[in-house]
Amino acid sequence: MPNQDQMMAVGQSCSEYTPLQRGLFAQRTNPEDVSCENCIHWKGETEMCELDIYLEQLLNLDQT
């Protein structure tokens, strides 16, 4: 089960991140607000990313 810090780190590094709100009325997403949790591909903690890239992205984060 992913935690909030992990979802933020993955969301900020993911090339497929797409905010839930898009178009004319979308607000600009602050970098600190980017998270898998507010990406259109996120389907909840049990299903996670519909693109099936969450775990790969998490493992590829620089852990230094």
pTM: 0.79
Does residue 19 fall inside a structural domain? yes
The residue segments making up the domain with residue 38 are: 4-59
Does residue 64 fall inside a structural domain? no
Phi, psi of 55 (to 5 degrees): -65, -40
Cα separation, 21 vs 27, in Å, equals: 7
pLDDT digits (tens, 9 = 90+) for 15-60: 999 988 765 555 555 777 899 999 999 999 889 999 999 999 999 9
Q: H helices then E strands: how many in the chain?
A: 2, 0
Cα separation, 3 vs 60, in Å, equals: 16
Q: How many domains does the chain have?
A: 1
